[in-house]
Structure 1
Amino acid sequence: MYPFLFVKWLHIVSSTVLFGFGAGTAWYFWNAHLTGNPALIARVGRMVVKADWIFTGTSGVVQPLTGLMLVHFLGYSLFEPWLIATYGLYLVTFACWIPVVWLQIRATRLAEASLISGVPLGTDYRRTMHMWFALGWPAFLSLMGVFWLMIAKPTL
């Protein structure tokens, strides 16, 4: 029973880190953006990108690994409809996360360039942040769906 409980604990903790850091870094980056202050945006952006790679990225790898282990421990088929829906939503999240990280890096670099040059943030920066914001919502909502599916395990 101990390996099962450890894997279950790791799965729950990594889901908390994945969701918590994802929402938290998005909150801080968006609020830095709202200030329009390139120095603040660049500083927060560097921290957000680092946190996304260290925490969100790591937990994003741990989640499917521990999830597959739990499926095995509990004797579920990998093709349960609720699991297939979970895989799909997780892929949507991942497909949004990759460009979101790239957009965070781009926005941070644009803010750094603005700071160095003294030229205000321009259209490229605003377009980058609009894309970042737009991609954040499907990722957020997909993870909410994954949480619901993990808890409810509905018959689909």
Structure 2
Amino acid sequence: MNAYLIVKWIHVLSSTLLFGTGLGIAFFLWMAHRRGDAKSIADTARTVVIADACFTAPAVVVQLASGLWLAQAAGWPYSLLWLRMALVLFFVVGVCWLPVLWLQVRARNLARDAAQAGTPLSPAYHRAMRWWFWLGWPAFLSVLAIFWLMIAKPA
């Protein structure tokens, strides 16, 4: 197998990891949030923060590095509309994801504090989760669009 196919395999594998982990994280944290139990939310958010550090963050780096390498190796100029759009959407995902990381840590800490104090979840917690929820949508839809661009490569 040549270098191009190995890097392409790594690129596809890391995109699968990135998408699957992101979707799983969102699902489990949202379900914990909906239950409203501060301890459950704190425990779930703790795991979510760890998963983002172990899986999502490295996959983001691999995606960018392998994608740029593949484009160069294939001889695709960055002037191709689909490639430019994929890079713009990758940037959109990052702009949404970075605050989401902070919001997950904040939600975890606020839920942990509420659970330890035996108090209801604070308005600050609910505000953090609202922002987390709404920032997730443009990131999720952008990832779907990137998948489409990578497969269709429209002119």
Q: Deviations over 1:12-45 (max 9, x none)?
A: 0000001110010000000010111111101110
Matched to 1:91, the amino acid is F
Q: Deviations over 1:33-72 (max 9, x none)?
A: 0111111101110000110111111000000100011111
2: CA distance, partners of 1:28 / 1:121: 18
2:3 paired residue number: 3
SS in 1 for 2:78: coil
- CA RMSD of superposed structures (Å): 0.8
Equivalent residues, number? 155
Residues of 2 paired with 1:78 and 1:16: CA distance? Answer: 24
Q: Show structure 2 runs of 5+ residues with no match.
A: none
Mapping 1:8-23, distance limit 5 Å: 8-23=8-23
Write the distance in 1 (CA, Å) between the matches of 2:88 and 2:115: 41
The answer for the alignment partner of 2:86 in structure 1 is 86
CA displacement at 1:81 relative to structure 2: 1.1
Report the more deviating stretch, 118-127 or 4-13. 118-127
Structure 1 runs of 4+ aligned residues shifted over 4 Å read none
CA distance in 1, matches of 2:68, 2:87: 11
- Bigger drift between 71-80 and 101-110 goes to 71-80
- CA displacement, residues 56-102 of structure 1 (integer Å, 9 cap, x when unaligned): 11000000100011111211112211111001100000000000010
C-alpha separation between the residues in 2 aligned to 1:78 and 1:68?
Answer: 9
Gaps of 5+ in 1: none
